[in-house]
């Protein structure tokens, strides 16, 4: 068990682009043994995925391996001809990818895709290969494997597709499994299941795993050794306990600190910038300078900002979380009794019709949102948490009338928004008049300057053909705010406020990173001076280190501008960090509602408990427990052999 399986020496993979050479992997050396799990962690652009693709020799055409070697089973993969490499891919090295949604070919059945891998590398008949596929499906926990092999990818959920990918990768008993962010696109509960399967199969088969992720929480759950990468270079390596117990490099320290934990006491998150800064020396080489986080800064992070702002006393009592002195964090406050909520949602239903038959009659409904009620008070943050498909996004969009609600009231400062939706108002005044509908849609548009939304995907929600200035100024144009010059000045000021600068105005979205784009989206939402912001998974697509910065920005803006947030996310730890009150949604209904700290400390519903236990933990006890479990499993396997 101590033979080195993979030995990478001084690997350099560069991309030759029109803008010059990008050193994606810059002098990387690492090795790991058969049967162990190496975790590579880093943010996007750190070179972790390129490293794995270099091992597989699946690089894009613009990439070139400048030097170095990758020794695997006594052969140097860098020098291996393509025809030889093809025999290793899928046979000795299996690989799973980040996006299970797009990683399977949509026009073939999932069974056929796994069978193909078996037939490529093993001398078996088609029937045997199919039988083997069914066994593999069973092994990775796909229920009813005999039928499921005939399913097409679109008929399976994301978690099941990732199981198919694992079955495919393991079909030829590889000695090495490369897992490139295999759980990033999945819900936390599904992530926990997939990690369970990977741990189990790894221990049963004694294979080595190269696990790549940006999330240290996941690393803590699965890796034996950790490699931390930053800008193409390895900054720290070590076994998992020592990395978490005693991180040496400032970047590692920063990464560890910036994750919002379920038990965090911070009001603002520390960021990587608190631990280091990057300076360029005379030769143009980037150099990392360590900074030390002193008591003062820690204190600042703990105390900057306001305490939780809870619902009025009567409502807290009604939801079973009565206010008790000293029970809540020191500076938590209640909204005064009798204050009107800024947003009042009453019995919101959003049903999508399922149409069938010759005349497209309505055969049933998908009840995306099924009777949701809640209040949000001025200056509060309400967190809406749940897994994909629970209806949280639909709720957010229905409130601001981007989707037509089926029924229910959405009172924004006393005005029912649903009544203003021109699509919904046909039967409200009979006979409908164009003038009436026009005036209503105009009213709604006027109101829109008071509430705005920030979406999940900062790549998709900015028009690639519009400059930053055009994008930020557009809401002001629609609302008729200011003259061109004033709008430009305001856009510049807002960019400064979100941490960018005025020189960015003339650029296009593709010139920015994901985090910067999300800042632009925030600036765009702020142009019309809204009181209420819906953040719909606004940090889910970002790296952990960037996520911390954006979360801090949102908190900072709330304090300065007195904003009210509806914060929608699947990530309980992020929601808990941001929110005063939390609503847990499942299958279109709110299953639990209460103050953020109470929901975490004392969950009442089974579903909430499940969400909490699935959230990755990275405390040392947990890591040590995992390592102990692993030793037992290995010992059991050895004694069985």
Partner 1 sequence: MLVYIIRRLLISVLTLVLITAFVYGLIRSMPGSPLTAMIAGGGDSSDKSISTQQYERMKEQFGLNKHWTLGYLDWLNGVRKGDLQNALTQPGTVAKLIGDRMAATLLLSVTSLILAYLLSIPLGLYSTARNGTIPERSTSLILYMLYSFPVFVAALYLQILFHVNLEWLPLYGVTSSNYAELSVLGKAWDLFLHCLLPVTCFTYTSLAYYTRFIKANMLEVVQQDYIRTAKAKGVGPFKILTVHAFRNSLIPFVTLIGLTLPSLFSGAIIIEKIFSWPGMGALFLEAISQRDYPLEMGLVLMFSVLTLMGQLLADVLYGVVDPRITYS
Interface positions with partner 1 (CB under 8 A): 56, 58, 86-91, 94-95, 97, 99, 102-108, 113, 116-117, 120-121, 152, 154, 165, 168-169, 171, 356-360
528, 479 Cβ separation under 8 angstroms: yes
Minimum CB distance to partner 1, residue 17 (Å): 16
- Local structure of 164: helix, strand or coil: helix
Kindly tell me which of 168 and 258 has the beta carbon lying closer to partner 1: 168
In the complex, the smallest distance separating the C-beta of residue 283 from partner 1, rounded to whole angstroms, is 35
Long-range CB contact pairs, 324-331, < 8 A, 24+ = 328/595, 328/597, 329/265, 329/597, 331/306, 331/307
Q: 583 with 590: CB under 8 angstroms?
A: yes
Q: In the bound complex, what is the minimum distance in angstroms from residue 30's beta carbon to partner 1?
A: 21
CB of 60 to partner 1, least distance (A): 9
Q: How many CA atoms lie within 13 A of 76 on its CB side?
A: 9
**Least distance CB 49 / partner 1 (angstroms):** 11
Nearer to partner 1, 62 or 407 (CB): 62
Q: Report, in Å, the least distance between residue 76 CB and partner 1.
A: 19
Q: Which is nearer to partner 1, 82 or 324 (CB)?
A: 82
Could you tell me which of 199, 209, 204 has the C-alpha nearest to residue 178?
209
Q: How far is the CB of 170 from partner 1 (least distance, A)?
A: 11
The CB-of-63 to partner 1 minimum distance in angstroms stands at 14
For residues 89 and 437, which CB has a smaller minimum distance to partner 1 in the complex? 89
Pick 207 or 255: Cβ nearer partner 1: 207
Q: How far is the CB of 101 from partner 1 (least distance, A)?
A: 8
> Which residue lies nearer to partner 1 by CB, 167 or 399?
167
| Calpha distance 206→386 (Å, rounded) | 35
Pick the closer one to partner 1 by CB: 91 or 437: 91
Sequence-distant (6+) residues with CB within 8 A of 455 are 461, 521, 536, 537, 538
Minimum distance from CB of 431 to partner 1 (Å)? 27
Distance CA(415)–CA(427), nearest Å, equals 19
Select 185 or 548, whichever has its Cβ closest to partner 1: 185
Task: Please give the angle made by the CA atoms of 243, 41 and 240, to the nearest 5 degrees.
Answer: 25
Question: Nearest distance from residue 128's CB to partner 1, in Å?
Answer: 18
Nearer to partner 1 by C-beta: 105 or 173? 105
Asked if residues 577 and 361 have their Cβ atoms less than 8 Å apart, the reply is: no
Phi-psi region of 427 (alpha: psi -120 to 50; beta: other; left: phi over 0): alpha
Q: d(Cα 11, Cα 60) in Å, to the nearest integer? A: 16
Q: Choose between 84 and 489: whose C-beta lies nearer to partner 1.
A: 84
Half-sphere exposure of 187 (CA within 13 A, CB side): 19
Can you tell me which residue has the tokens 């639909």? 394
Nearest to partner 1 of 118, 581 (CB atom)? 118
Q: Between 104 and 534, whose beta carbon lies closer to partner 1?
A: 104
CB-CB neighbours of 371 under 10 Å? 14
Q: Is residue 527 a contact partner of residue 491, using CB atoms and an 8 Å limit?
A: yes
CB of 235 to partner 1, least distance (A): 28
- Least distance from partner 1 to the Cβ atom of residue 106, Å: 6
Burial code (b: 16+ CB inside 10 Å, e: under 16) for 521-541 equals bbbbbbbbebbbbbbbbbbbb
Minimum CB separation of residue 361 from partner 1 in Å reads 11
Q: How many CA atoms lie within 13 A of 444 on its CB side?
A: 22
Q: Which is nearer to partner 1, 51 or 545 (CB)?
A: 51
In the complex with partner 1, the residue whose CB is nearer, 83 or 265, is: 83
Q: What phi-psi label fits residue 232: left (phi over 0), alpha (psi between -120 and 50 degrees) or beta?
A: left
478 CB-side CA count, 13 A: 17
Could you give the angle at which helices 110-121 and 158-170 cross, rounded to 10 degrees? 10
Q: What is the CA radius of gyration of the chain?
A: 27
Question: How far is the C-alpha of 156 from the C-alpha of 164, rounded, in Å?
Answer: 10
Query: How far is Cα 372 from Cα 370, in angstroms, rounded to an integer?
Result: 6
**Closer residue to partner 1 (CB): 154 or 510:** 154
196 phi and psi, to 5 degrees? -60, -50
Torsion of CA 119, 124, 129, 131, to 10 degrees: -170
Distances (CA, A) of 457 to 470, 506, 517, 535: 19, 22, 9, 11
Min dist CB 35 to partner 1, Å, is 22
DSSP state of 421: -
């Amino acid at each position: 068990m101590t033979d080195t399986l993979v030995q990478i020496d001084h690997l350099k993979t560069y991309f030759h682009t029109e803008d010059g050479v990008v050193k994606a992997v810059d002098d990387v050396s690492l090795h790991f043994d058969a049967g162990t799990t190496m975790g590579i962690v880093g943010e996007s652009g750190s070179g972790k995925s390129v490293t794995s693709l270099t091992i597989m020799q699946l690089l894009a055409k613009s990439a070139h391996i400048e030097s170095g070697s990758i020794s695997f089973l006594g052969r140097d993969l860098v020098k291996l001809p393509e025809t030889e490499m093809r025999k290793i891919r899928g046979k000795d090295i299996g690989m799973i990818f980040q996006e299970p949604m797009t990683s399977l070919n949509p026009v073939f059945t999932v069974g056929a895709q796994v069978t193909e891998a078996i037939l490529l590398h093993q001398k078996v008949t088609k029937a045997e290969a199919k039988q083997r596929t069914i066994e593999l499906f069973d092994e990775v926990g796909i229920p009813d494997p005999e039928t499921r092999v005939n399913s097409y990818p679109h008929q399976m959920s994301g978690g099941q597709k990732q199981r198919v990918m694992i079955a495919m990768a393991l079909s030829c008993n590889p000695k090495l499994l490369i897992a490139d962010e295999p759980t990033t696109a999945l819900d936390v509960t599904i992530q926990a299941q997939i990690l369970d399967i990977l741990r189990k199969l790894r221990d049963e088969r004694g294979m080595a795993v190269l696990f790549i992720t940006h999330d240290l929480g996941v690393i803590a759950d699965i890796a034996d050794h950790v490699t931390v990468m930053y800008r193409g270079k390895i900054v720290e390596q070590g076994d998992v306990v020592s990395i978490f117990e005693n991180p040496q490099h400032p970047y590692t320290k920063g990464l560890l600190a910036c994750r919002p934990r379920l038990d965090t006491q911070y009001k603002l998150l520390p960021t990587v910038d608190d631990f280091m800064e990057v300076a360029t020396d005379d030769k143009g080489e980037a150099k990392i300078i360590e900074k030390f986080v002193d008591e003062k800064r820690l204190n600042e992070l703990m105390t900057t900002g306001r305490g939780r702002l809870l619902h009025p006393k009567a409502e807290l009592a009604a939801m079973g979380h009565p206010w008790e002195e000293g029970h809540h964090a020191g500076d938590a406050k209640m909204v005064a009794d009798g204050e009107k909520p800024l947003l009042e949602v009453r019995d919101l239903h959003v049903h999508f019709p399922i149409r069938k038959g010759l005349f497209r009659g309505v055969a049933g409904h998908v009840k995306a949102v099924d009777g949701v009620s809640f209040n949000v008070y001025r200056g509060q943050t309400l967190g809406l948490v749940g897994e994909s498909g629970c209806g949280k996004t639909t709720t957010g969009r229905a409130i601001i009338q981007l989707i037509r609600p089926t029924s229910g009231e959405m009172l924004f400062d006393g005005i029912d928004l649903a009544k203003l939706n021109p699509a919904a108002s046909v039967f409200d005044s009979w006979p409908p008049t164009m003038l009436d509908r026009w005036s209503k849609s105009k009213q709604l548009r006027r109101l829109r300057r008071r509430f705005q939304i920030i979406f999940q995907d900062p790549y998709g929600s900015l028009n690639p053909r519009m400059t930053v200035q055009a994008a930020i100024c557009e809401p002001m144009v629609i609302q008729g705010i200011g003259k061109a010059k004033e709008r430009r000045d305001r856009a510049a000021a807002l960019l400064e406020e979100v941490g960018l600068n005025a020189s960015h105005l003339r650029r296009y979205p593709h010139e920015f990173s994901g985090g910067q784009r999300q800042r632009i989206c925030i600036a765009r939402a702020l142009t019309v001076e809204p009181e209420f912001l819906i953040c719909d998974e606004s940090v889910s697509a970002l790296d952990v280190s960037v996520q911390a910065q954006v979360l801090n920005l949102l908190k900072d803006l709330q304090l300065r501008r007195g904003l009210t947030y509806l914060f929608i996310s699947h990530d309980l730890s992020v929601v808990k960090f941001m929110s005063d009150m939390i609503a847990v949604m499942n299958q279109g209904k709110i299953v639990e509602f209460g103050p953020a700290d109470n929901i975490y400390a004392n969950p009442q519903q089974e579903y909430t408990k499940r969400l909490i236990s699935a959230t990755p933990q990275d405390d040392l006890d947990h890591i040590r427990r995992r390592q102990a479990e692993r030793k037992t499993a290995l010992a059991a396997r050895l004694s069985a052999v």
